[in-house]
Structure 1
Amino acid sequence: MTGTVSTPDLSDAPEQPRVLRVLAVAQILSGAGLAAGITVGALLARDMLGSTSLAGLPAMLFTVGSAGAAIGIGRLSQRLGRRVGLAAGYLTGAIGSAGVVLAAVNDNVPLLFTALVIYGAGTAANLQARYAGADLAAPHRRGRAVAIVLVATTVGAVAGPNLAGAMGRVAHTWGIPTLAGPFVLAGAAYAVGAAVLWTLLRPDPLVLARAREHDASARSPEPAPTPAAARTASKGIATGALVMIVAQMVMIAVMTMTPVHMQGHGHDVGAVGFVIGVHVAAMYLPSPLSGWLVDRWGAGTVAVLSAITFVAAGAVGAWSPPASVPLLVLSLALLGLGWSFGLVSGTAMVTSAAPLSQRARIQGNVDFLIALAGATGGVLSGVVVAGTSFATLALGGGVVALLLVPVLAVTRADHPRQHRPGTISAS
């Protein structure tokens, strides 16, 4: 057994700080676009359709749109780089936002449905930006790199819901229905985010990462992966995808029906916006903690922590008096934290397991499945609440998340521990 010093790939690429800064600016903007629409989407659908049981349709539709866009953004990024793929996703989201506003003005339900599907592309781009943050990161720092991109979303994501009331009043003065106001903000935010990425995301992190790998391979060719290594990689991708799928489905289901639940018990749009704002902050603000835990403890451990947090969120939500805003805030904050643990740990698993030559395509396919899970959660949430209660939905989400624990125990799919710069590894 001989000792070898850690290799150069254990340090971030020199371009990584600039890439993270540009992504952070774009995420702040896209966070406002994403959260503003989420806050009032269910309420707008309920008013236009006249049915609470169909209030989950917006979440279902824009997550279906997000699913399709995830594949498109992934493949576009694979061919042309992250800059082109992400900018195209944000621009498409801006077009969808404009379509929602037009549908509300004309009380056109078919147009509303179509526009919500297109609007979902912004959600897909917002999520896939986390992968761009990890492209140039050292292996043992990927969790924190993902976290930096996600936490930048917090600023816009918290501002978006809390601007819902103000944007509604502004929209009313323009002759636009009040509930369509936040989609005006969403359209502007997505459009500016697309411009920022298109103009400033240079060098492209994925293109540069490939060039660095090619240069490293030319200097020191590596043997082809063995069948056992390929199976291990596939297991890592599948487990990471499952963690994110469950996290997205549970989060979307409970979050979608919270505004309807609150308004049904006399809370105004301002209170709804506050609760959703705290929830979205809890999704993104703890990302540095999630990333640090993943890099320190391993992604599998943090995925189990995600399931436990979802159970706590469901219990608080189910047993909270509907009139208690503080307890609803606590429940939705735990819901967001569980999602953060799940997303960051699952992303680390997939990124570590996916070969760079296919990484963007695989990540797009994974996000497609995540979006479909969110769509399922969104559409079922209205049916569950209409047929039973919000408490049943909240508890059911916790039970579904808890099923991850035995799966993770069986697969033992943990984020591989990485050697840190300056350490000695045995070979």
Structure 2
Amino acid sequence: VVGAALLAVPVTRIMTGYGRRPGLVTAYLVGAVGGVLVVLAAATRQVPLLFLGMLLFGGGSAASLQARYTAVDLAEPARRGRQLSLVVWATTVGAVAAPNFAALADRTTRGWGLPSLAGPFAFSAVAFTLAAAVLLVLLRPDPLLTARRLAAAEAPAAADVVPAAAGPTVTGRRGAGVRAAWRVVRERPAARLGIAAVAVGHLVMVAVMSMTPVRLGEYHDDSVVLGVVGVVLSLHIAGMYALSPVVGWLTDRLGRRQVIIGGLAVLLAACAVAGSAGHHTPGLSVGLVLLGLGWSGTMVAGSTLLSESVPAAVRPSVQGLSDLTMGLAGAAAGALSGFVMQVAGYPTLALLAAIATVPLLALALRVVPTRVPEEED
């Protein structure tokens, strides 16, 4: 999680100067190197190498997160939510298949002499390498550079247009830094709402979801708890991704802010249901499904709003800043939720997660988001 957050910034710097394709390819290759290092660490029992490998392994997640923005570079304004949501929806395949594939990968690689539990990382390294190769060959023309070229043709006098050149331009370098991205976000209420929606929705989701297996373990026998956890989390993942196209359609149909507010309402309902479910697994499952749906609303609508609220020259940097903020929020939620769970229990954790949505809800009700003028693209 931390690796994906930290790698978001350098990956988007590459995108700002050279386009989406080099950035995504680099991120996947970094993830592949991380997977190899984890396997080597398991074989040599080197803990520092394991931490380094896990950090770099986050490159795969960084690429997957940035891919959703690639989908909207050339999308029509009225279809941006749907385009972005399709990429999020595609994550369902990996999220559902990966846990079932992990055991097979582990058995296969143990037959090759690799340590136990190293198999999924070895196969992931291969998958990341294949993804990088596919993008390198097929992602042409580069959508970000093409979008900039089209914007330049429509508004050649726009000061912040970055030409689709072979290397980084002055404008691209100027817009690549985190500081520049923060300045842009601070100046645009819609961008602030977009980045806050993504971060807060992720924080709430991670805080409640990460302690759900512990909650289930409190009242299920050890012989069945793993199966119950698998079912509940599978339902949660389905809530996160399976209905993403519907969320994207609603984002285009009803508006970005309206779907963000709706997502927050669902998150509040999820916290209420999960926190009050007690030792009732079906009730807790409903809460986790709602948690996934609320996350989907804030993620899809927030990402769409953020992308269309900033100029093209700084768009990748702002998107990277959003992923950095989201990742750090999730890491903080995961770390603190264990402490809260131990001290005060699961219902209190759900209550605190619900309270965390209040500032964002106030911002969403106050801000009237508007898309950045086309001449700024």
* CA distance 1:285–1:260, shift in 2 (3 Å): same
Q: 1:37 matched to which residue of 2?
A: none
Q: 2:51 matched to which residue of 1?
A: 113
Q: 1:352 matched to which residue of 2?
A: 308
2:163 matches 1:163 = no
* CA distance 1:121–1:302, shift in 2 (3 Å): same
User: Structure 1 stretch 279-288 or stretch 295-304: which is displaced more?
Assistant: 279-288
Aligned partner of 1:414 among 350, 369, 375: 369
Q: For 1:285 and 1:381, how far apart are their aligned partners in 2?
A: 26
Aligned partner of 1:252 among 182, 203, 206: 206
Q: For 2:228 and 2:355, how far apart are their aligned partners in 1?
A: 28
Instruction: Describe the SS at the equivalent of 1:163.
Output: helix
Alignment of 1:58-137 (within 5 A): 63-137=1-75
What is the Cα deviation at residue 247 of structure 1?
A: 1.0
Instruction: Describe the SS at the equivalent of 1:403.
Output: helix
Q: For 2:121 and 2:254, how far apart are their aligned partners in 1?
A: 40
> In the TM superposition, what whole-angstrom CA distance separates every residue of 1:51-72 from its partner, at most 9, and x where no partner exists?
xxxxxxxxxxxx2211221111
Q: 1:308 matched to which residue of 2?
A: 265
Q: For 1:232 and 1:263, how far apart are their aligned partners in 2?
A: 44
What is the Cα deviation at residue 73 of structure 1?
A: 1.2
The answer to whether the 8 Å contact 1:256/1:378 transfers is yes
The answer to whether the 8 Å contact 2:260/2:302 transfers is yes
2:189 matches 1:240 = no
Instruction: Describe the SS at the equivalent of 2:55.
Output: helix
The answer to whether the 8 Å contact 2:39/2:118 transfers is yes
What is the Cα deviation at residue 88 of structure 1?
A: 1.1
Q: 2:164 matched to which residue of 1?
A: none
* CA distance 1:389–1:415, shift in 2 (3 Å): farther
User: Structure 1 stretch 198-207 or stretch 249-258: which is displaced more?
Assistant: 249-258
The answer to whether the 8 Å contact 1:143/1:345 transfers is yes
TM value normalised by structure 1: 0.74
Aligned partner of 1:340 among 296, 300, 306: 296
Output the amino acid matched with 1:375.
Answer: A
The answer to whether the 8 Å contact 2:275/2:350 transfers is yes
2:339 matches 1:383 = yes
2:114 matches 1:193 = no
The answer to whether the 8 Å contact 1:90/1:194 transfers is yes
The answer to whether the 8 Å contact 1:162/1:277 transfers is no
Q: 2:181 matched to which residue of 1?
A: none
* CA distance 1:87–1:417, shift in 2 (3 Å): closer
Q: For 2:324 and 2:185, how far apart are their aligned partners in 1?
A: 22
Q: 2:327 matched to which residue of 1?
A: 371
Q: 1:292 matched to which residue of 2?
A: 249
The answer to whether the 8 Å contact 1:307/1:398 transfers is no
> In the TM superposition, what whole-angstrom CA distance separates every residue of 1:352-384 from its partner, at most 9, and x where no partner exists?
111112211221122211211112112212222
Q: 1:277 matched to which residue of 2?
A: 234
The answer to whether the 8 Å contact 1:233/1:353 transfers is no
Q: For 1:415 and 1:240, how far apart are their aligned partners in 2?
A: 11
Q: For 2:126 and 2:226, how far apart are their aligned partners in 1?
A: 22
* CA distance 1:397–1:108, shift in 2 (3 Å): farther
Q: For 2:55 and 2:280, how far apart are their aligned partners in 1?
A: 33
Aligned length, in residue pairs = 348
Output the amino acid matched with 2:95.
Answer: A
Q: For 1:385 and 1:108, how far apart are their aligned partners in 2?
A: 32
User: Structure 1 stretch 173-182 or stretch 297-306: which is displaced more?
Assistant: 173-182
* CA distance 1:122–1:171, shift in 2 (3 Å): same
What is the Cα deviation at residue 416 of structure 1?
A: 5.1
RMSD value, Cα: 2.8
The answer to whether the 8 Å contact 1:100/1:111 transfers is yes
What is the Cα deviation at residue 321 of structure 1?
A: 4.5
Q: 2:169 matched to which residue of 1?
A: none
What is the Cα deviation at residue 407 of structure 1?
A: 1.9
Aligned partner of 2:275 among 318, 321, 328: 318
